Structure 1
């Protein structure tokens, strides 16, 4: 089609029939398949499909839609240059990473010393925590602690409630 308005109207009509997440090839444009799609969020796009896909959101104006399509096509060489540069950067970064991977870790000795010191400190903290717990209990033995709980009115009340539920403490009749 040579008329932008007519072409835009046809594309807009086709777009109205699309469902969410649907893509439809509707023709060709300068050697690319021309497709339309509605993504998961409901955004309507026009896509040029070739070795790669190039898309842009559509305009509600028929002529504006065709202008966006033309701009999308004209921008492909810029995208190609941009992507070729990114590939070159990634390849350079990968070579640099390989070189760094091959080198020994320069702080390994210092790391091992600090890890050993951390282990010592953790052991000292564990010992101190154990002593603090003993001091908090006041050196009472387990059976003395149980007797002390039995003297507590709250403890008696909860034990009696549990005892009423079954023949033995802690059992429940169903």
Structure 2
């Protein structure tokens, strides 16, 4: 990778998204095939990111690159979350684990840094997304293959403690119910 990425200082870029970094890197390193690399560990504080070679790539290793942007975390608080999360329909997801929801959000909103958001509430077919860095709340919809044991949703949070109301002396049955519930995943 060192032979292809010779210039590592991108200078000023419009934003710190993976796409912007890749395009800027390609501009100053014309021999670089950006389809064989990906960006990881974007550090806004230091204006840096790490470039890694994809699996089965012609490149090997990683490279640290530098950049400057006026979109620091401090200035992001003036933005709305809806400007970052434009696609709010996740489609079918296997379960409602926060990591599943956040990763799917990243897939359909490539500009999103999932470290900047958190899930405040999870309902039957939607979640509320909030951020410390952006104003407002976004409601994201989905269809989950996860179904509660009674088969009915009441648009409430999923609470395993309520689903698993079985006394400890019936632990074996409790384990069986939990296993049936988790097979849905």
Whose radius of gyration is greater, 1 or 2?
Answer: 1
Q: Which has the higher contact order (CA 8 A, sep 6+)?
A: 2
Larger proportion of strand: 2
Bigger proportion of residues as helix? 1
> So what's the TM-score if we normalise by structure 1?
0.23
